[in-house]
Each structure stands twice: as C-alpha cells, then as structure tokens.
Amino acid sequence: MYWSYALCAVALLLCLPLYICFKPSRLHLACCFKSAGTLCAFSMALIAAIRLDPRCAVLAAAIFLYAAADYLLEFQFMLGAGFFLAGHICSVAFFLNLVPVSVLHLIAFLVFGGMTAWIFYVWRKPIGKQMPVFIVYGLSLALMGVCAIGCFTSFGIAGILIALGGVFFFISDLILLRRLLFPSAVNLDWAVMITYYASVLLFGMACLRL
C-alpha cells in the first residue's frame, strides 16, 4: 500500500509544481505533467479493478477521461469540458452502483444544486451567452459530487475517501470558474490543482480499499 502514497507524492510534489512552472513558457510540456498527475490516480483505480474489484474499472475509465481533459482543456476548452462531462457520467455510474439513491443523496443535491444555482446567478453577467453550457456542466458536476457524498455512510474508509473526493472536485471547479471569469493571481492555479489532485487521488485510494 505504500506505493499508493508514493504516487500521491509524485502527483502533488512533482507533477503539480512542474505544471505550474512550465505553464507560462512551455504549455504543451506543462499539460503533460498535469495529465501525468491525474494518471497517478488512474493507475490506482486500474490496479484495483484488475486485482481487487472489477467494478473499479468504471472509475478508472472516468479518471482516464479526466486525464485526457486535463491536456485538452488548455487548447480546446469545450472539448476538454466534454471529456470532463464524460468522466462525470462514468463517476456517477460507479458511485450509484456502489450505493443506490438515498436520503443523503437528496440532502446533498439540495446543498450542491442550490450552491451551483446561486453562483451561476451571481456570476450571470460574466458567464453571459455561455450560460447553457455552464448549466449542463454544472449539473453534471453537482450530480457527481452528490453521488460521491452518498457513499459516505457505506464501505467504511473507502466511502469517506470517495465523499471527500467529491467535495474536493466540486471546490476545485468552483475555483476554476472564478479564475476563468475574473482576473486572478497565480495562487488560484495552485488552489485549483491541489484540490483537483486531492479529489482524484482520493478516488484512486478509495478503490484500493473497497
């Protein structure tokens, strides 16, 4: 199990700083490091699918789509967002296969859905004509977070890791939205990536504990 912690260290202590470092001058190389960090989480889910629980193959597919989206997002934003959307669909399918819809899901949906609607309303002017696209993606993000939260009371530590991963992913995308719509300092890049990597790495580690 120590190798999983090593992968987390590689993602957070190597891939993340190199992505931030090379982003201003060598974007293609930076994005390779960005995707490599997500592939660390993918490798955990893939190994879990092969050796522990075949169901984890669905989450492995989701994380692989996230890794592809990491690269594409910097060059073709809508295409990258589409890959993230596909990844969320896979994640939702995996989480609902683990835990069916419950009262906890409904409560989480009220919180996540309400927060998303409020943010879109407050930032409606800078979002402008792209609002329909943001609503579709925001709904998929909220559903993914809700279904992750729904795993909290099941599977012990794995369920807790999944729930935390869903929360971190939601926070990461909210920070990313803030960075896209308004002038932002480089600190927001760090915040986006730290919370994002924390999310996918928690998903990967959860697979090893199912």
Chain segment 121-155, per-residue pLDDT in tens? 999 999 989 999 999 999 999 999 999 999 998 88
The answer to whether the Cα torsion of 90, 64, 166, 201 is positive or negative is positive
Average pLDDT over residues 51-65: 96
Backbone angle region of 128, left / alpha / beta, with phi > 0 → left and psi within -120 to 50 → alpha: left
Confirm if 205 and 48 have CB atoms less than 8 A apart. Answer: no
What local confidence, expressed as pLDDT, does residue 77 receive?
87
Q: Which two tokens stand for residue 178?
A: 């803030």
Q: What would the pLDDT profile of 174-198 be if each residue is shown by its tens digit?
A: 999 998 898 877 788 999 999 999 9
**Helices 56-72 + 77-98 axis angle, to 10:** 170
Q: What would the pLDDT profile of 15-33 be if each residue is shown by its tens digit?
A: 999 999 999 899 999 999 9
Q: Which two tokens stand for residue 70?
A: 């990491």
Which residue in the block uniquely carries the two structure tokens 């992505």? 19
Average pLDDT over residues 67-90: 94
What local confidence, expressed as pLDDT, does residue 210 receive?
85
Residue 42: C-alpha distances to residues 8, 24, 132, 155 (Å):
11, 26, 30, 20
What local confidence, expressed as pLDDT, does residue 155 receive?
80
Residue (of 65, 23, 55, 52) closest to 15 by Cα position: 23
Confirm if 16 and 28 have CB atoms less than 8 A apart. Answer: no
Is residue 101's pLDDT more than 80? yes
What local confidence, expressed as pLDDT, does residue 203 receive?
98
Of the pLDDT bands very low, low, confident and very high (cuts 50, 70, 90), residue 60 is very high
What local confidence, expressed as pLDDT, does residue 186 receive?
74
What local confidence, expressed as pLDDT, does residue 185 receive?
73
What rounded mean pLDDT belongs to the chain?
93
